[in-house]
Amino acid sequence: MKPSVLKRSDHNVSRKNISSAAVKVLYHLKDEGYTSYLAGGGVRDLLLNRNPKDFDVATNATPEQIRKIFKNCRLIGRRFRLAHILFRGEIIETSTFRAPVPEGDTDLCENTFRAEDNTGMVMRDNIFGTPKEDALRRDFTINALFYNIADFSIIDYAGGLEDLDKKIIRVIGEPDKRFAEDPVRMIRAARFAGTLDFDIEPAAYESICRNNQLLSNAAPSRMYEEVQKLFFCGHAKAVFKWLEKTDLLHPMFDEFSHWIDEDKSRHEWVIQTLDQMDRWRKAGLRVHPGLFFALIFGEYHEFLIQQQIDTGTSPHDAARNAVHSHLKGMCKNVQVPKAVIYQVSDIMSNQQRFERTKGRQPQRFMQSRGFLDAFLYFKFSSKVHKRNSELMEFWSEERKNAPEIPVPEKPKRTRKRRPPKR
């Protein structure tokens, strides 16, 4: 099958919209005699007039050959070797074209290794191939496009250009098999559909609904990374709707999603949280994971905290116990780091301090490290539940009148000189 090729005059992708670091990598590989393409989501976003977050390069040079060409290179990865080419403030991920490994055949070459678990999920998979093979191994057609630096053309082996026009998320290959190989592809489909305002192709959509429980087989640490991509993408509300439609929430956040199912009014808190996340993202504000998890699970944590208070536990201990119990239990599906769990715990346990408005307690609280995150949560929850209006007015006024606290400069480290050798 020959690829569809768009000449430079027939598309909108320009080098001026590509990272200068990526352009340097592409040209350097080309000048050394290798094929070098801009690959994947970067090409998709450029064609859609969006600003790509990453620029990835695909080439026929092996990782070892790439390392010889670039002094600023390090090799990473066990499942498949990748080259990270380091520039100031940017990393250009460069991969060798991959090919599928025939099932049961692991003796093709020294770079070949395939391993699957009993669910069909690929644990390791490593074989080099051609551009066509590399394109057809990718997850979705719209992510299988190449930009050729040699003649500035767009190369399409999988029908991605047509699906971009139709606004369709289509799996390359048989959906059931591809999702079994890597269940995370299901939530990636939801993310792309929500972010790009595309539809998921019917066969893929039905496969996700049928196989969503496979998501529990994904590595919890990888799921944590994917969850951040889902909700920090600037289109969290739209993504969430796809997660609900495909019932992917249950294998991700089991206890929480069942709690929402018991009372649909609890759904409103989540929607308003995601609206707030999208507003912050569009304003260019960065939200750290601790604040995000505190907000998204806030109403559920308040419910758990009140249950413990009703049994006689102090509010401070109830907050810490409830948050730790929930988030640590969630780690079997989504592995939330301990540091993030403690941040969420601090935000929730600090809520009771907003009721203390006498004497110097407000000033002490405002000068504490966790005040701003706690205040953002308090402000959000007050708005959603239409409560604490007088307290909200008090703390807003206190913040306006509070003197700026100077940030202490870090002391300069002085290097001790070694005594001269005699």
One-letter amino acid of 299: E
Supply the pLDDT for residue 264. Answer: 85
Kindly report the CATH number assigned to the domain that includes residue 137: 3.30.460.10
| Residue 117: active-site member | no
Q: Among residues 100, 135, 166, which one ends one of the domains?
A: 166
Please, which pLDDT band fits residue 410 given cuts at 50, 70 and 90? very low
Q: What is the mean pLDDT of residues 362-383?
A: 94
Token pair, residue 2, equals 């020959």
Q: Global pTM? A: 0.86
Specify the DSSP class assigned to residue 418: P
Q: Which tokens in the block code for residue 159?
A: 């029908």
CATH of residue 321's domain is 1.10.3090.10
- Which residue in 229, 252, 257, 212 sits closest to 333, CA to CA? 252
Please report whether residue 196 resides in a domain: no
> Do residues 145 and 283 both lie within one domain?
no
218 occurs within a structural domain: no
Alpha carbon of residue 270 to chain centroid = 19
> Of 166, 186, 214, which marks where a domain is finished?
166
Q: Indicate the pLDDT class of residue 416, thresholds 50, 70 and 90.
A: low
Measuring CA to CA, which residue among 296, 305, 242 is closest to residue 269? Answer: 296
Check whether residue 122 and residue 9 sit in a common domain.
yes
The DSSP-derived string for 190-215 is: HHHHHHHT-EEPHHHHHHHHHHGGGG
What confidence category does residue 420 fall into, taking pLDDT thresholds of 50, 70 and 90? low
Q: What is the pLDDT of residue 419?
A: 57
Task: Please tell me whether residue 113 adopts helix, strand or coil conformation.
Answer: strand
| Rounded Cα gap, residues 322 and 304, in angstroms | 6
39-43, 53-57, 416-420: segment of lowest average pLDDT: 416-420
**Claim to verify: residue 161 and residue 281 sit in the same structural domain:** no
Q: Is the pLDDT of residue 95 over 80?
A: yes
Q: Tokens standing for 354?
A: 């907003």
Asked if residue 411 has pLDDT above 80, the reply is no
Query: What letters, b where the CB count within 10 A reaches 16 and e where it falls short, cover 166-193?
Result: eebbbbbeebbebbbbbbbbbbbbbbbb
Which of 56, 156, 163, 346 is catalytic? The answer is 56
- The single-letter DSSP state of residue 266 is G
Q: Are 128 and 277 in a shared domain?
A: no
State mean pLDDT over 48-76: 94
Q: If you average pLDDT over residues 328-348, what whole number do you get? A: 95
CB of 131 closer than 8 Å to CB of 37:
yes
Range 42-70 average pLDDT: 95
Residue 54 is a catalytic residue: yes
Q: How far apart are CA 176 and CA 126, in angstroms?
A: 22
- Regarding whether 156 and 17 lie in a shared domain, the answer is yes
- Residue owning tokens 């064609």: 47
The CA distance from 174 to 342, in Å, is 42
Residue 56 known to be catalytic: yes
Give the whole-angstrom CA distance, residue 374 versus residue 291.
9
Q: Is residue 178 included in any domain, yes or no?
A: no
The answer to whether position 279 is within a domain reads yes
Q: Does residue 417 form part of some domain?
A: no
**What is the CB neighbour count within 10 angstroms for residue 320?**
21
Compute the average pLDDT of residues 146-172. 97
Query: What pLDDT, on the 0 to 100 scale, is given for residue 327?
Result: 96
Same domain, 275 and 161: no
Q: Are 162 and 273 members of one domain? A: no
Question: What is the strand order of the sheet 56-59 is part of?
Answer: 4-6, 153-156, 145-148, 36-39, 56-59, 90-96, 82-87, 73-76
∠ CA 66-70-73, rounded to 5°? 80
pLDDT at 103 over 70: no
Contact 88, 75 (CB under 8 A): no
Say how many domains are in the chain: 2
Residue 102 or residue 28, greater confidence: 28
- Mean pLDDT confidence for 149-155: 97
Q: How far is CA 78 from CA 37, 212, 375, 381, in A?
A: 23, 27, 43, 44
Mark which of 166, 187, 211 sits at the end of a domain.
166
270-323 pLDDT, tens digit per residue, is: 999 999 999 999 999 889 999 999 999 999 999 999 999 999 999 999 999 999
pLDDT of residue 111: 44
Q: Among the options 45, 134, 139, 182, which is catalytic?
A: 139
The answer as to whether 209 is a domain residue is: no
pLDDT at res. 78: 72
Domain enclosing residue 340, as ranges: 269-400
Residue 119, pLDDT score:
53
Instruction: Express as a percent the part of the chain with pLDDT over 90.
Output: 82
Average pLDDT over residues 184-208: 97
Same structural domain, 141 and 280: no
> Quick one: pLDDT at residue 118?
53
